[in-house]
Structure 1
């Protein structure tokens, strides 16, 4: 089988220098070569969803090399504000230092490795290790220790600051960090995804802000299941979420609604589920009511971005490789009230090969009325919060991955099917008239985005 005239993948954000461990062993390289051969045929080994060796390789070659989302600028608005965040399984302090710069500091004292920050959030000019009392500024610089004159008379504190991410940058309020000093810039890593972030998050100067702290809960599955789902899987809605149609949460013909979606695949493993659904009056761009869309200012967008919005297009979801996703849709608020448009950021934080922690940020427009923002928050949490009605369906389904991935019999006898949308499978085709960047499809009944994501995953693991 062959891809349907898809543009060749050229991995975005290719790094130029090595950081951390060396090449994978021969058996792992052989397996990853098989993964790439299988992907060309629309197949994938279940081993990718549960393998300790693969998991360690991901920590070393993906989370140690890629730009990874760590938070939103609204979470640390003032100098000294901090929150604890993760890159892979490493814990960092994301802090705005006394000069207003955002730092990402490894939460490990340089003396014996004890965490220097034990609160999830707060404001502090310094961090003090509880073990031996070493002190660090919120910039990460070493700033003293007990009995320094006696214990550290000949000591260069400049060498002993907290280890920090060598690259930290933002785009449309999203904070990313990279642990590879030789990696490309964030703007280059995101590539054409910036075009879509502009029309999703940059519709006025005020922008969007987080609502409270991110919700967090553990899921008995592999982190890649979430990234795979949100990068392009609209197909599951008509089966997995059918009960929501039956009880009236999803109104109308759900299959028809899903059919208004299509895919956009970008270089670097990033991908989106885009929708084209005309909004009834008085709803405006992406279904926002007049009191919200009247605050939007499109002068910063280019002609094609404005055409995207004027043409009743929106983005349902996306994944930025490796583990940041986004979701925007309508959700119920309370009986008798119309549904509200909500916006979520979602991150799939690995906790070993069989578990991940799901982080869920609710976003609101700073320019929107409080009544609308409150309704949007309720809609988002009710749909995709820890007890959200969609969330229960998804996480139960994803829990099947790790048992299958560890099964000796499954590894020997089965491959997951990723052939939907490949040549001869259906009506899935490439749009020739797409106004935006990337490779766009004509329908959602395909798995181009998922195959691209897994291709980038295997490329990253094999890169030396």
Structure 2
């Protein structure tokens, strides 16, 4: 349904045909009533439009600065389904380079990570600096005496920037700056990642595995779905790994931000009143809360913490506590999550456990183990989530379901629950009094539909 006969200046498809525009208008009308067509979870035309109109236009997370600390370091990353080289060049600048030679399109980098001053294409031997510049070819004096080398470097992302160590890229030359794109999410990123000057780092390489579901199920879940915990994760309560799930849900709430971003906020989960966001004294003592604003300090002094968020389109976070064995005290862990599209029926889940550079090694090891225990290819929470998300592609491809079935997103609408605005919130965004609502999810889908419909 995407018109392929005209392209815009960024290489994406220029316009959507009338049928797709009509469908997106229906999506927006349905969302106002708390409904959504299952077609959004499995449709090749929608998927192609997402790659062309979301992943080439939005700021997309590509890694953490700690993964490429030195000149010459690189890792392979994705924006949508396009593979890029995230590299730190010889001048220390971060580059995002399309991993395709401009001679015959062969990938020039075939290792997932490493350190190099240049990349050499295996097909004809064209060479590129780690900044992306063209740097030579075999028999250059005979083959390319008059080549305009300035034109033939690797294709670069027009914009690469970072905030609190998180590296984002945007493929749209006319994009707004990253700080503007993130908006009020920066206030919360400061709280999660900016508690001291040393910051956090990725604890090794990201975990990666294929999930038979649509990427949007993960993004939508982490932007606001705490309601599933009492059902999808009930077995963990049954075997004693989680406390009373109903009690924990009763104290959580949402914060909705502009741009499709959203968070789940929770009071601290551990009992010690002096701890900051469930960090023990030996970690909390390294924090410098004077770095934060008055409202941010009030957030922490009120014993609130961020349990999850999604930055539109496909970066999420989980902050929770876990105990990996009986008798071992629970420990706080943090992990970044990314939902990498791999067609309309599956995605690749990337998971980065994060640790504090200032924390004792023993705490970081325990935090890493807690993160892997909960959220990883074998994580006890992970297995529950990825199983239930499989229904999206099934109903999305169903000829019967696509006739007139609607998915229900009505929780919190029209007095259906006690979900209402919190009047005394000290931070940015619209905070709720309860987690029993789906406003964050509806806003995420609204942002999604607007992105697809935009020119």
TM-score relative to the length of structure 2: 0.97
1:419: how far off? 0.2
Given the alignment, which residue of 118, 121, 124 partners 1:126? 118
Separation in structure 2 between the aligned mates of residue 372 and residue 353 of structure 1, nearest angstrom: 40
Matches of 2:117 and 2:10 in 1, distance apart?
33
1:375 maps to 366
Aligned: 1:168 with 2:156 = no
With normalisation by structure 1, the TM-score equals 0.95
Quick one: distance in 1 between partners of 2:10 and 2:375? 38
Q: Following superposition of structure 1 onto structure 2, how do residues 388-407 of structure 1 map, counting pairs within 5 Å? A: 388-407=379-398
How many angstroms apart in 2 are the aligned matches of 1:456 and 1:206? 34
CA contact (8 A) 2:269 2:321 kept: no
Aligned to 1:329: 320
CA contact (8 A) 2:211 2:386 kept: yes
Give secondary structure in 2 for the equivalent of 1:285: coil
Match 2:311 to one of 310, 320, 327 = 320
User: Alpha-carbon deviation of 1:355?
Assistant: 0.5
Counterpart contact for 1:106–1:162, Cα < 8 Å: yes
Unaligned residue ranges in structure 1 (runs of 5+): 1-15
Structure 2 counterpart SS, 1:143 = strand
2:163 matches 1:206: no
For the pair 1:344 / 2:332, whether they are aligned, the reply is no
Verify the 8 A CA contact 2:411 2:438 in the aligned structure 1: yes
- For 2:432 and 2:122, locate their aligned partners in 1 and report how far apart those are by CA, in whole Å: 55
Task: For residue 134 of structure 1, report the CA deviation from its aligned partner.
Answer: 0.1
CA distance in 2, matches of 1:57, 1:317: 28
Shift of 1:31: 0.3
Displaced runs of 4+ in structure 1, greater than 6 A? none
Match of 2:89 in 1: 97
Following superposition, the deviation at residue 282 of structure 1 comes to 5.9
Alignment partners' CA distance in 2, 1:310 and 1:283: 9
Q: Does 1:234 align with 2:226?
A: yes
Give the Cα separation in 2 of the matches to 1:17 and 1:145. Answer: 30
CA distance in 2: counterparts of 1:447 and 1:17, whole angstroms: 37
Q: Does 1:413 align with 2:404?
A: yes
Task: Using the TM superposition, give the Cα deviation of residue 108 of structure 1 relative to its aligned residue in structure 2, in angstroms.
Answer: 0.2
* Unpaired segments ≥5 residues, structure 2: 1-7
The CA distance in 1 between the partners of 2:197 and 2:151, in whole Å, is 41
- Find out whether 1:81 has 2:52 as its counterpart: no
For residues 153 and 119 of structure 1, the distance between their equivalents in structure 2, rounded to whole angstroms, comes to: 31
Structure 1 residues 246 and 401, CA, compared in 2 at 3 Å: closer, same or farther?
same
Aligned-partner Cα distance in 1 for 2:415–2:422: 17
The corresponding residue for 1:303 is: 294
Aligned to 1:223: 215
Once the 2 structures are TM-superposed, how far is the Cα of residue 280 of structure 1 from its aligned partner?
2.2
Question: In the alignment, which of 114, 137, 148 is matched to residue 145 of structure 1?
Answer: 137
Give the superposition deviation at 1:382. 0.6
Distance 1:282 1:232 in 2: 26
The equivalent residue for 1:459 is: 450
Conserved in 1, the CA contact under 8 Å of 2:268 and 2:278? no
Residue number among 439, 444, 464 corresponding to 2:435 in the alignment: 444
State the Cα distance separating 1:77 from its structure 2 match.
Answer: 0.2
Give 3-state SS (helix, strand or coil) of 1:197's partner. helix
Deviations along 1:154-184, whole A, 9 cap, x unmatched? 1111000000000000000000000001010
Q: Measured at CA, do residues 108 and 18 of structure 1 come closer, stay the same or move farther in structure 2, by a change above 3 Å? A: closer
1:320-359 residue CA offsets vs partner (Å, 9 max, x unmatched) = 0000000000011222111110000000000000000000
CA distance in 2, matches of 1:308, 1:369: 25
C-alpha displacement of 1:19: 5.7
Q: How many residues align?
A: 448
